[in-house]
Chains A and B, each alone.
Chain A
Amino acid sequence: MAVSKEEVRHIALLARLHVEEDEIQSLQRHLNGILVHFGRLKSLDLEKVDPFAREDLDITPWREDTVVPWDGREGALSQAPRREGDYFRVPRILENEDE
């Protein structure tokens, strides 16, 4: 298999996604399965192709440097799972307590 369980755990950590042991197995299977499909791209001759040629975009639209106040601040803060007055609160950032 191309992807090991260890790699799955590593990728899950990168993605900040907790996965149970049994999930790891099925994820491993899925990843390996899909990588086989991805392998089909190798048969194409894409050497001279520009990966980022996008005809679908206009050239950069940009905006004037003017300040526009927003009135939805309370709506946003009120949705915070842990709100502390004017702030968004997060639990202890460091994992280890003994500092």
Chain B
Amino acid sequence: MRQPGSAVIGLEIHVQLATASKLFCACSTDYIGAVPNTNVCPVCLGQPGSLPVINARVVEFAVRTALALGARVGQFTRFHRKNYFYPDLPKAYQISQYDLPLAEGGSLPIGDGKERRAIPITRLHLEEDAGKLVHSAADGRLGHSEYSMVDYNRGGVPLMEIVSEPEIATPAEAREYVARLRQLVRYLGVSDGDMEKGSLRVDANVSLSRKDGSLGTKVEVKNMNSLRALERALEYEIVRQAEVLASGESVRQETRHWDDGNGVTCGTRGKEEAHDYRYFPDPDLPPLVLPAGFVEKQLGFMPDMPWVLKERFCTDWGLSNEDASVLTEWPGLARYMEECVRCGANPLRAANWIRTEILRVLNERKIPIEKISVSPENFSALLTKVEGGDLSTTLAKKVFDLMVSEGLSLPVAIDRLGASSGKLTGPELKAVMDRVLERETSAIEEIRTGKDPKGKKRGFLCGQIMREARGQADPGEVAKMIGEILDNQ
């Protein structure tokens, strides 16, 4: 039973799938920055006589996503035509799915520990993306444009639409849901989930529960291009609806656009034509029947879910929640961390160093983890040196910088900085010895007065000196020098 006045949010998320070619034709999906209308062919231009043929990889990616969400994959699904007129839709219909989507059910976990909740998912289906419109107005918006131009490069790019149940209770939850879904698709490698670039788009349905606990009129909110925009837009909309209701009016069912600059949602002007999409099964496409064993095969491609990895980082390695979160944000980063530990690095130190040094480099150079020039093996070796006292932290950071900037291996970088194996000898060693001997006066006294028959005290002094020298002295040399000093006095 819903609390009266409580917010109810449902999210429809369109995820662009990172296949090489489009959903129904062999054109490239790489449209960003491409010359307009170059990744096109008769099919995605909707030329008379052209016909769609489905891309197998799209189905693989979508099924993997469905499995990761725990959804039921339909062995038999079909495509429908959604008919409407708009310049970015070359066939005047979009090939989508209607009554038999690719998957139904499942859920996405949000929250940690006791706060953990599973947001149920209604469905997951496939559809083709539309082309892009460029409007002539100076501000690039539809409103004041005398004409517009169409680029069909994006037309036909595969989209996976994931619809949640209206079970999200707050803008913060909504934000987390999207962040988790984004993380999920990146982990699966099915999309780069970039809200700014448009490979992950969110539409929200927001309503406030009525006095009797039933769902209120829902308003669709679009045009939220970042997690922050999503949260702000939902916060605004909830307040707006509450104010409308408080003033005794009713909320109008409509689509509103988030205006990030002004921090408001705006209703679309003009009369809202109720769309009659006249859905019917697309006669150009046979039903999608998944071959026997297909779903099982996709299970073999499933990586550990990010929340599972995060849990493991905490339990197995004692990482803090925050550290584990950061490290599992990107699958590449988590893999890097795992590799380092596998090569012998201390997990806590590795976590700390990755969070500080590695992330710093990635940010500075604007590269993904996959492109960093320091391999986990080398990084791990560096960390082991720090662990073992061979290198001071300060020095190690300098070594790391050199490894990054000049792509040097660990030994070469160390050598270049003159921090070679750091063996203390001669005057440096004597200085260390003198420090110890000054401190350990009682032990020296006992040795001199012949109270160290078994050489235990002597051994103790050697040990102290070795420790002081951080293991970078030669034990034989130390023993010899001690002998010289003690026996000569």
Contacts and interface: CB of A to CB of B under 8 A. Distances in A.
Direct contact of A and B (CB under 8 A): yes
Interface of A: 14, 16, 52, 54, 57-70, 72-73, 76-77, 84-96, 99
Contacts of A67: 20-21, 26-28
Interface in B253-291: 269-270, 276, 278, 281, 285-289, 291
Contact of B55 (A62, A69, A70, A73): A62
5 contacts: A14-B278, A62-B59, A65-B57, A86-B151, A99-B144
A72 to B, nearest CB: 7
Contact of A65 (B21, B78, B145, B148): B21
Interface string B135-176: 100000011111111111000000000000000000000000
Contact of B53 (A63, A66, A73, A77): A63
Contacts of A64: 55-57
A76 B37 CA distance: 10
A68 B26 contact: yes
Contact size class for B?
Answer: 35 or more
B286 A72 contact: no
Contacts of A72: 41-42
Contact of A94 (B53, B58, B142): B142
A53 to B, nearest CB: 10
A64 B145 CA distance: 41
A88 B21 contact: no
A16 B20 contact: no
Nearest to A84: B149
B54 interface: yes
B391 to A, nearest CB: 47
B56 A91 contact: no
Interface of B: 19-21, 26-28, 35-38, 40-42, 45, 47, 53-59, 78, 85, 87, 133-135, 142-152, 269-270, 276, 278, 281, 285-289, 291
Contact of B150 (A62, A68, A87): A87
Contacts of B147: 89-92
B145 A92 contact: yes
Given A63-B26, A65-B56, A70-B42, 7 more contacts: A52-B78, A59-B287, A67-B20, A70-B40, A84-B149, A88-B150, A90-B149
Contacts of A62: 53-56, 59
A96 B271 CA distance: 11
Contacts of B59: 62
Given A65-B55, A76-B45, A86 B287 contact: no
Given A16-B85, A65-B57, A67-B26, A60 B270 contact: no
Q: 9 tightest A-B contacts by CB?
A: A65-B57, A87-B149, A68-B26, A57-B286, A70-B41, A86-B36, A62-B56, A59-B289, A99-B143
A86 B37 CA distance: 6
A86 B40 CA distance: 12
A69 B85 CA distance: 28
Contacts of B276: 14
Contact of A60 (B87, B149, B288): B288
Contact of A63 (B54, B151, B278, B281): B54
A60 B54 contact: yes
Contacts of A70: 27, 40-42
